[in-house]
Amino acid sequence: MRKVVFTDLDGTLLDRLSYSYDQTLEAISLLHNKRIPIVFCSAKTRAEQEAYRQELSIKDPFIVENGGAIFVPRDYFPFRFNHHKTANDYLVIELGISHQRVREVLKRIQAEVGCHIKCFEDMSAEEIAKDTGLNLRFAALAKQREYDETFKIEDTQEKIKAVLDKIEEAGLTYSHGGRYYSAMAGNDKGKAARILIELFGRKLTKIETIGIGDSQNDISMLKAVDMPVLVQKAESLWEEVNLASIYKVEGVGPQGWSRAIHELIGG
């Protein structure tokens, strides 16, 4: 039985405040030694995930922008499969609509509601870094969105509600991560994970999938895997999730991630 690990990044493999993965390095080395794939499944962009993949020597497929698309390194799977386009050395399976189409909808809604929607594309890397705690390099990478748009609404609660209602009326969905919203259409972490699970099953025959997350945004991915794992958030609390089979591991973010790998993989 071959294992495959699907993982969220922010607040899971990465510390939510410092974005450090130092506490996971030993566990990642264990997965590399056992030749267990590590599949990022995150809200982060392709550019951001590529940077972490390079730093951590991960060469497996990855899921970007909350399931907006799956990027599969060329020749990773020894068979043909349906995909929508090629990009550099990737075969790309697209689930979400383009960033540009999302942005057009937001601009239209801004004019209709008469409010100020400030998108990542409208902000400098310096502004994003100041707001998020990202360094300038990763703030610039976070701007390179392809399948959603991250934004904040600088207005009254009434107008914020009007914007969110109109986003849904336009056929888009949105998520809220504290200060920022993300708007998208078609993005689905769970669907993306299931597509990759089917491809891994064809390649490895018998597999057991592990999914690690920390928040409601990860639920669809966790439902798709054999062993869903929840690490602790700040204050050492777990997110309230309605998933009977969930394995709650002690440890906030990357500390919990590392513990989960050692407990479930061994070594």
pLDDT tens column, 232-248: 998 889 998 888 899 99
CATH second-level architecture of 2-96+188-265?
Answer: 3-Layer(aba) Sandwich (3.40)
pLDDT bin (cut points 50, 70, 90) of residue 178 is low
Reduce the DSSP state of residue 16 to 3 states and report it: coil
Catalytic pick among 8, 15, 60, 188: 8
CB 53 within 8 A of CB 9: no
Q: What is the pLDDT of residue 212?
A: 98
Residue 181 predicted with pLDDT over 90: yes
CATH second-level architecture of 99-184?
Answer: 2-Layer Sandwich (3.30)
Say how many C-beta atoms besides its own lie within 10 A of residue 116's C-beta.
Answer: 12
| pTM, 2 dp | 0.95
**CA 182 – CA 1 distance, rounded (Å):** 37
Instruction: Give the residue ranges of DSSP H helices in the chain.
Output: 25-33, 46-55, 99-113, 125-132, 136-142, 157-169, 189-204, 219-224, 254-265
CATH 3.30.980.20 domain position(s) in the chain: 99-184
β-strand pairing of 247-252 with 227-232: parallel
Q: Is-catalytic flag, 8?
A: yes
Q: What sign does the dihedral 249-42-197-71 (CA atoms) show? A: negative
Q: What sign does the dihedral 232-238-243-247 (CA atoms) show? A: positive
